């Protein structure tokens, strides 16, 4: 185990990525970076890290902000539940910990949106607590080191990975070791075509010895994405468009979106479109992680105006927290809308 620790730390000292959140051990910045990077590549997430830490430079600033402003700062990053949990956890830290960032994994994991990996990353990097931060990179590395044949989602395999990751963890430099494994997974032990000859652990990797690295990790088949069929309505009155804030339980909770009708099947969806004569966007597809949004867009000049919702100019809409689908739709139809403004 000592050899693995030395190999990882030596490799990390020479090859670590220069990332903006690594200039400080500030747990607030580490936390922001970890939440931003969930489901997001580093190059995509870095601008949002800068944006969030500029707008909300401290826990106090984030906790005291309106949720609308937090969602707006998050706009374009997707998975908005992360932003809502970020805001909620900041308020929990202010209320439950007097604004002082918790130092222990067991305390951090109780905060909104902070799971085992994020808690371990924060506590090990910022407070030197020896807890293995097990993300997808670490799962992949360990499954190859041990040449694990079982699905990594299974309780038995997950237990083996967790125990081994904690066993090889450096007690003296847990934060650097965790980050070393993260970087190794991102740069060398990649999902496809791993650079095994450049890996500091190649001599102890069972999957490499067995030529099975391309088969590890074993994963269960993904669940098939759910198809939804939506018809969005661009309602215009006196140069303004109707927007509705989405309610709790929606995947777009508290975000603003055009009114829409949802249909239970593709047949019902297409039948409804056949009856319309002001279709701005024909059936299109917007893919989310677990949903496939089949959608079309209609336009209508609304006279007299509907009273509920928010009637807003285009500039006001662009300043709202919205799903990425809204600006994409507006960009596609701006020339068709121009005569109506």
DSSP characters for 120-134? Answer: HHHHHHHH-------
147/16 same-domain check: yes
> Which tens digit of pLDDT belongs to each residue from 202-212?
999 999 999 99
Which percentage of the chain shows pLDDT scores above 90?
86
Catalytic residue among 34, 67, 153, 316: 34
63 domain residue, yes or no: yes
46/95 same-domain check: yes
184/327 same-domain check: no
- pLDDT score at 341: 67
Say how many Å lie between the first and final Cα of the chain, rounded. Answer: 69
Confidence of residue 302 (pLDDT cuts 50, 70, 90): low
Nearest in space to 63 (alpha carbons), one of 26, 112, 125: 112
Domain final position from 215, 241, 270: 215
- pLDDT score at 69: 96
> Which tens digit of pLDDT belongs to each residue from 115-135?
999 999 999 999 999 999 999
Instruction: Look up the pTM and report it.
Output: 0.85
- pLDDT score at 307: 67
Give Cβ neighbours of residue 2 (< 8 Å, ≥ 6 apart).
none
- pLDDT score at 241: 92
The yes-or-no verdict on residue 146 having pLDDT over 90 is yes
- pLDDT score at 213: 96
- pLDDT score at 303: 65
135/49 same-domain check: yes
Residue 280 vs residues 260, 297, 332: alpha-carbon distances, Å: 14, 5, 9
Residue 237 vs residues 241, 242, 304, 310, 341: alpha-carbon distances, Å: 7, 8, 8, 11, 9
145/109 same-domain check: yes
Nearest in space to 232 (alpha carbons), one of 241, 219, 222, 224: 241
Half-sphere exposure of 167 (CA within 13 A, CB side): 9
204/270 same-domain check: no
What CATH number does the domain containing 181 carry? Answer: 1.10.340.30
The yes-or-no verdict on residue 304 having pLDDT over 70 is no
66/197 same-domain check: yes
User: In which element (H, E) is residue 46 found?
Assistant: helix 42-55
Domain final position from 185, 215, 245: 215
The token pair that represents 279 in the structure block: 């279709």
Q: E strands within 216-275?
A: 226-237, 240-245, 256-257, 260-263
49/141 same-domain check: yes
- What rounded mean pLDDT belongs to the chain? 94
157 domain residue, yes or no: yes
220 domain residue, yes or no: no
149/275 same-domain check: no
Does residue 217 have a cis bond before it (omega within 30 degrees)?
yes
> Which tens digit of pLDDT belongs to each residue from 154-170?
999 999 999 999 999 99
248/111 same-domain check: no
The phi, psi pair for 230, rounded to 5°, reads: -120, 140
116 domain residue, yes or no: yes
- pLDDT score at 300: 81
Is 60 catalytic? The answer is no
Domain final position from 189, 215, 241: 215
221 domain residue, yes or no: no
267/296 same-domain check: yes
How are beta strands 240-245 and 256-257 bridged, if at all?
antiparallel
23 domain residue, yes or no: yes
Confidence of residue 39 (pLDDT cuts 50, 70, 90): confident
What's the whole-number mean pLDDT along residues 140-149?
98
CA 4, 140, 182, 30 dihedral sign is: negative
Residue 219 vs residues 29, 38, 72, 205, 215: alpha-carbon distances, Å: 32, 19, 35, 19, 10
Confidence of residue 95 (pLDDT cuts 50, 70, 90): very high
> Which tens digit of pLDDT belongs to each residue from 252-280?
999 999 999 999 999 999 999 999 889 99
Nearest in space to 120 (alpha carbons), one of 129, 33, 82: 129
User: In which element (H, E) is residue 108 found?
Assistant: helix 105-108
> Which tens digit of pLDDT belongs to each residue from 171-203?
999 999 999 999 999 999 999 999 999 999 999
Confidence of residue 338 (pLDDT cuts 50, 70, 90): confident
Confidence of residue 239 (pLDDT cuts 50, 70, 90): confident
The yes-or-no verdict on residue 305 having pLDDT over 80 is no
268 domain residue, yes or no: yes
49 neighbors 32 (Cβ within 8 angstroms): yes
**Structural domains counted in the chain:** 2
DSSP 8-state secondary structure symbol assigned to residue 66: -
> Which tens digit of pLDDT belongs to each residue from 314-337?
999 999 999 999 999 999 998 887
Confidence of residue 153 (pLDDT cuts 50, 70, 90): very high
157/50 same-domain check: yes
Residue 266, domain extent? 226-340
What CATH number does the domain containing 310 carry? Answer: 3.90.79.10
- pLDDT score at 2: 79
- pLDDT score at 335: 84
What's the whole-number mean pLDDT along residues 218-242?
92
Question: What is the b/e burial string over 5-34, where b = at least 16 CB atoms within 10 angstroms of the residue's CB?
Answer: bebbbebbeeeeeeeebeeeeebbbbbbbb
Q: How far is CA 25 from the centre of its chain?
A: 22
């Amino acid at each position: 185990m000592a050899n693995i620790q030395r190999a990882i730390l030596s490799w990390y000292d020479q090859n670590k990525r220069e990332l903006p959140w690594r200039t400080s051990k500030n747990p607030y910045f580490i936390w922001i970076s970890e939440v931003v990077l969930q489901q997001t590549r580093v190059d995509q997430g870095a601008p949002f890290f800068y944006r969030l830490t500029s707008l909300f430079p401290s826990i106090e600033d984030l906790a005291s902000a309106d949720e609308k402003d937090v969602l707006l700062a998050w706009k374009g990053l997707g998975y908005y539940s992360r932003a809502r949990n970020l805001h909620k956890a900041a308020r929990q830290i202010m209320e439950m910990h007097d604004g002082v960032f918790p130092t222990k994994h067991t305390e951090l994991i109780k905060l909104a949106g902070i799971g085992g990996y994020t808690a371990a990353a924060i506590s090990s990097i910022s407070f030197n607590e020896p807890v293995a931060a097990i993300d997808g990179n670490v799962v992949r590395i360990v499954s190859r080191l041990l040449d694990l044949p079982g699905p990594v989602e299974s309780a038995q395999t997950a237990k083996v990975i967790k125990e081994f990751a904690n066993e090889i963890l450096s007690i003296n430099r847990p934060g650097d070791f965790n980050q070393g494994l993260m970087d190794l997974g991102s740069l060398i032990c990649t999902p496809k075509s791993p650079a095994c000859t450049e890996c500091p652990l190649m001599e102890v990797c069972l999957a490499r010895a067995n030529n099975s690295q391309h088969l590890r990790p074993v994963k269960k088949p993904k669940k098939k994405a759910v198809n939804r069929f939506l018809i969005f309505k661009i309602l215009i009155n006196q140069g303004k468009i109707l927007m509705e804030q989405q309610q709790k339980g929606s995947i777009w909770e508290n975000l603003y979106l055009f009114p829409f009708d949802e249909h239970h099947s593709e047949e019902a969806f297409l039948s409804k479109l056949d009856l319309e004569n002001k279709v701005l966007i024909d059936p299109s597809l917007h893919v989310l992680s677990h949903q496939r949004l089949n959608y079309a867009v209609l336009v209508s000049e609304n006279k007299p105006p509907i009273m509920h919702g928010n009637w807003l100019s285009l500039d006001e809409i662009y300043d709202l927290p919205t799903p990425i689908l809204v600006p994409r739709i507006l960009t596609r139809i701006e020339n068709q809308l121009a005569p109506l403004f």
